[in-house]
Structure 1
């Protein structure tokens, strides 16, 4: 009978994270992802919390583990500020880029703003970024919103993107479903109707213009 290999011993617990370790974590993350101040703060906080959990799992008293990582917690804000000073973190740049990208993917202005808020961008910064990326709500922004709505319904093959041989029942069903989906996605009724009633060639042209802007 062949003996089963013994389980490997658990990895020894490394020292509690210090400023150098947290800085390395931040730089490694930002080399791969664009992030906000809040996003980098969450990454570093999770890193510290993982160490504390490992310490407790390894037998360390919970209060002792909490004391061990307290200096690291206190350094997080300074490291995030350092990343911002290096230009690796820029909430305004992040928000403008993400707003433009989301609109091109078919997200409404309202959903873009909600996404930026969830990523930790403050309301004032998000508002400026949305205006810069998508245009003023009562001007160019209306055209961008309509183009985003067209992208949204193209994915659902509704309106001008419905197959040519669809019968009346399918047309009505897809129209109703698209209206409901667009309302949930944050598009106004007027925008939804304009998108669904548009000619296909014009719809494709509007999408292309938005993506080339």
Structure 2
């Protein structure tokens, strides 16, 4: 309040110019809060560069060069590791019930190169008997599809359940095996023995 009793509005300060030093500080703060790929970090910093150019007239090209230098520095220092990030994210998404196709799309959205996406999916195949089947079961369990649905409702929901798995990117043959499992115990047994239901492995 001023001497004459009027209220003075406090002007809120806008973002400061995106200098290389401020961009690096912002990058470190972001990585303290989130696990990120180099592509994700680039996008975060690029937004700051664009905003700075709009508000302060800074050079976007200089900002882009600073971003590349920062990403390189943080990669060499071990703060960024796209390979480890891709593997960790793929494993997390697979446990949540995402199909291989859906995982590949998520990894691509994080700006990860095709070789890293393939390596992450390959790692899943090496460490699990059937990662696609395990993911389909996890999704069906979470959404109460097929053998995980309430008793008495399976027949009327069968087509809907198959469609739900198909929308998630699971092959139709695999969706059939999960949805048509006799009961929840038989469905869970599929993960331990993919041939437990008496059907061959899905060729896809």
Aligned to 1:182: 165
Aligned to 1:150: 137
TM-score by length of 2: 0.82
Which sits farther off after the overlay, 74-83 or 43-52?
A: 43-52
- Following superposition, the deviation at residue 149 of structure 1 comes to 0.5
Judged with a 3 Å threshold, the aligned counterparts in structure 2 of structure 1 residues 173 and 6 are, in CA distance, closer, same or farther, namely: farther
Q: Which runs of 5+ in 1 are unaligned?
A: 56-64
Aligned to 1:34: 35
Q: Is it true that 1:7 corresponds to 2:20 in the alignment? A: no
Which sits farther off after the overlay, 171-180 or 29-38?
A: 171-180
Judged with a 3 Å threshold, the aligned counterparts in structure 2 of structure 1 residues 7 and 18 are, in CA distance, closer, same or farther, namely: same
State the alpha-carbon separation in 1 of the partners of residues 186 and 90 from structure 2: 24
State the alpha-carbon separation in 1 of the partners of residues 37 and 192 from structure 2: 29
CA RMSD of aligned residues (A): 2.5
- Following superposition, the deviation at residue 202 of structure 1 comes to 3.8
Aligned to 2:75: 84
CA offsets 1:175-207 (integer angstroms, 9 cap, x no match): 111111111110001110111122312434667
User: In 1, are the aligned partners of 2:52 and 2:58 still within 8 Å (CA)?
Assistant: no
- Following superposition, the deviation at residue 174 of structure 1 comes to 1.8
Aligned to 1:106: 97
TM-score by length of 1: 0.79
State the alpha-carbon separation in 2 of the partners of residues 104 and 12 from structure 1: 42
Aligned to 2:65: 74
- Following superposition, the deviation at residue 120 of structure 1 comes to 0.6
Q: Is it true that 1:117 corresponds to 2:104 in the alignment? A: no
Higher relative contact order (CA 8 A, sep 6+): 1
Q: Which has the higher helix share?
A: 1
Aligned to 1:201: 185
Q: Which runs of 5+ in 2 are unaligned?
A: 194-204
